[in-house]
Amino acid sequence: MPPKPKSPAKGKGKGKLSKAEKERLKKEEEAQKLKEEEEEKARKELEEKERLERERLEREERERILAAEHQRHAAQLAELASILEGNYTALANLDNARRSKAKWERYMRCDGSPDPTIPAEINTYINLWKDDVERNSIDCVLKESKLVLALIHELEFLIEDTPDDQLDEMTELRYEDTIVELQNVLMAKTDQATVLLLKDASSKADSETGNLQFVAGSENLVLMLWGNLVKNPRFKSYTFEEQDLTFELPKQLALSEIGVRVVHTSYDHLSHRCRTFKLKRPRFRPPPPEEELPEEEAPPPAEGEGEKAEGEEGEGDEAEKGEVGETDEADKEEKADADESVPPTPKEPEKAKAPAEEMGEEGEEEEEEEEEEGEEYELEDEDTVDLRAYQVLGGVIHLDLLSLPPQPKQVKSWLMTQETPNELKRVPYGNADGVKLGASLSGTLTMGQTMDPKAAASAAAAAEALGAPPVGVTLKLPENVLFSEEPQMVYWWEEGKQWRLDGFVDIKFDQENRTLSFKTIKFGPLACIQDKHINMPFQSWELYPLGVNHTRLTIIAAILEVEIEIKDHLCCFRQTGENEPKPELASITEKWLEPKVLIETMKAAGVNLFPEIDSKKYVSVSEKDEQTEAAAYDQMALSASYFAFSWSKWNAETPPDKVIMLGAEKLVVEPVKDTKEDWAVILTSKAQTCKLKMGEYDEEFSEAHAEGTQFHADLHHMVCDLSTEAGMERMRNTSFRFVNAVHTMLEATRIIAYS
């Protein structure tokens, strides 16, 4: 067996790398690493190049989309502005034609009535009636009162209806002065008629009681007269049965030669004289012409000054033009972009723009003066009635305590009459100056309740301070006026030109019989007031189409649920809801009237759903941007023939610059289902309008827009996007007068902000 080969020694098999090999390997590694780095760098450069190219393409696509959307928005805004401008122009032409026709018919009227707009005619009429003693009988006065009230209504309508640029401030003040003069002469003639009745009281005395008991009246004015001819100490009270008015006299008056007169007017002729009745509105005042000095009076320029000034001005102008021109162009572009994002509203007459645009610094000064004058509207004390918060309902009651003139005496065959002046003498009662007899807006007691001992003691102390016990009065509230709360009595303070509360005690209200009783020492004009905003804010609303030029506005207010049907250019009021209809509103139900006439009729009946410019001080509202809200009303009116709108709970949750409402196309009259599929949640703002992905009953609010829908520049085009061709055909057949009627009611109720 051959011997085994010897294994090599350990470590002998691996030869050591030479220095050259090590250097070679190191260079190979560095070359490989450099190659990898270059490859990585090239890869990154390629990726960066691809990214930049991709971003460039995306940016170009985004810019293209934005440009297309901007162009589409601009086209939509231009289209909407054209529609609204066309409607406004047609309406303005119609109104101007109506005013011209009414003016011509007034000129051609030959019924003997004066034209109240012509000072010579109306002043002649007033003076002739004042001096005509032959027409002082109550029958003549009641007959003439119809003409006087018609003239007053004509002037009030002209003040309200005439555009500001056609009615200057001096003319408006003259109309208001004429109204006051007509009201004064009517009351003066009523006083003279009362004097004639009191002088002949004995011949008109009641056969049973022996006292004068006289009632005469017309639709708007009723005179009730009682004369104490018998002076029976057992006399306690007397009731004018047809008018449901009772007065109670204390014993000292029952033994006096006095008469009690009650004049009830269905209208309120005093509130407009109060400082808090209405806010001052800015008047249209054309800018005064610049006065130029005559050439001979113009001071001559100094030598060389003119040329130097012209040169300097020329250089300055050129420099300014160079610098300002670029800025103006940039500003104009920015302004144009901003304007294009705002939904347009109907073009306002220039009269509304003139004070802000043309008056400049002068207008600012006048605004400051008006604000300073507005400070005078602050209430003098807690008993002064704020007519911005309260309104007089049911007319005015003049309660007068009169001196009874000597009565004719029959002496044998002679009738002897003592000559007395034909003046109505009012009897002062008690020490009314400086003493308050009760003062509270919540002092009315329900019938059957009695005052607590402290209140009774206070009333007794006040009566003692007056030096005479108060007179009791019980009256029935008018059947055609709705009082949604217990009415409060007020009296007119002539010196301060205001209604006041501090004149009544022991006030009780019988809701079932609609009677109000109280005690007072305040003789003169009395009235009932109610909170203007008692039905605000509204709980919900719905504008539902019933056909072409036909829609229905339903408002669930704080107390009432009402329905206003709008057809063509007329409106009709109805009561809805589960509760029984209010009988007080039967006189205004189912009557088709012009929108403005219906608004005034509803207010007079006690249904005030129409907030005023300062109502937000008295009501908690969803504050909204005025321009956005006004634009929404304009565009809702355009589609009211076929598209339904409704209140959304999310509207109160969004900021003022965004309005949320529900919308659905309805071509068939049927209730809109409360499902997400039927109602679209619409968000509209100055920038854009869109349909939201969320539904009305979602738990959280989200502004994510619905898939498959577009952003639109305004609500009108958003509605068009959600409508069918049949709905669009209805819109094209909608009358501008119907659009104006719907817009008038929406703007008057302000359902978006006050719900």
Once rounded to an integer, what is the mean pLDDT over residues 562-569? 94
Q: What does pLDDT average to over the chain?
A: 80
Read off the pLDDT of residues 130-166 as tens digits, 9 standing for 90 and up: 998 888 899 999 999 999 999 999 999 999 999 888 8
- Which has the higher per-residue pLDDT, 479 or 347? 479
- Which has the higher per-residue pLDDT, 12 or 126? 126
User: Does position 460 have pLDDT exceeding 70, yes or no?
Assistant: no
- Which has the higher per-residue pLDDT, 307 or 224? 224
744: enclosing H helix or E strand: helix 736-749
Read off the pLDDT of residues 570-609 as tens digits, 9 standing for 90 and up: 999 998 877 788 899 999 999 999 999 999 999 999 999 9
Percent with pLDDT over 70 in the chain = 78
User: Does position 291 have pLDDT exceeding 60, yes or no?
Assistant: no
- Of 39-53, 106-120, 343-357, 483-497, the range with the lowest mean pLDDT is 343-357
Q: Are 266 and 395 in contact (CB under 8 A)?
A: yes
CA 160 to chain CA centroid, Å, is 14
Read off the pLDDT of residues 19-63 as tens digits, 9 standing for 90 and up: 888 888 888 888 888 888 888 888 888 888 888 888 888 777 777
User: Does position 295 have pLDDT exceeding 80, yes or no?
Assistant: no
Q: Which own/partner pairs from 133-137 qualify as long-range (CB within 8 Å, at least 24 positions apart)?
A: 133/422, 135/189, 136/189, 136/192, 136/193, 136/195, 136/196, 136/422, 137/193, 137/196
pLDDT at position 282: 55
Read off the pLDDT of residues 499-516 as tens digits, 9 standing for 90 and up: 998 888 888 998 888 999
- Which has the higher per-residue pLDDT, 209 or 8? 209
User: Does position 230 have pLDDT exceeding 90, yes or no?
Assistant: no
pLDDT at position 377: 52
409: enclosing H helix or E strand: strand 409-411
Once rounded to an integer, what is the mean pLDDT over residues 1-20? 60
The phi and psi torsions of 19 (rounded to 5 degrees) equal: -65, -35
pLDDT at position 233: 83
pLDDT at position 657: 92
User: Does position 333 have pLDDT exceeding 50, yes or no?
Assistant: no
Could you give the CA distance from residue 685 to residue 700 in angstroms, rounded to a whole number?
Answer: 20
pTM above 0.85, yes or no: no
- Of 371-375, 601-605, 674-678, 723-727, the range with the lowest mean pLDDT is 371-375
pLDDT at position 204: 83
Q: Is 684 exposed, middle or buried (0-12, 13-18, 19+ CB in 10 A)?
A: buried
Q: Are 287 and 358 in contact (CB under 8 A)?
A: yes
Q: Are 382 and 439 in contact (CB under 8 A)?
A: yes
Could you give the CA distance from residue 174 to residue 119 in angstroms, rounded to a whole number?
Answer: 9
User: Does position 400 have pLDDT exceeding 70, yes or no?
Assistant: yes
Read off the pLDDT of residues 154-201 as tens digits, 9 standing for 90 and up: 999 999 999 888 888 899 999 999 999 999 999 999 999 999 999 888
Once rounded to an integer, what is the mean pLDDT over residues 234-243? 88
- Which has the higher per-residue pLDDT, 464 or 609? 609
pLDDT at position 70: 79
pLDDT bracket for residue 222 (50, 70, 90): very high
pLDDT bracket for residue 416 (50, 70, 90): confident
pLDDT at position 308: 40
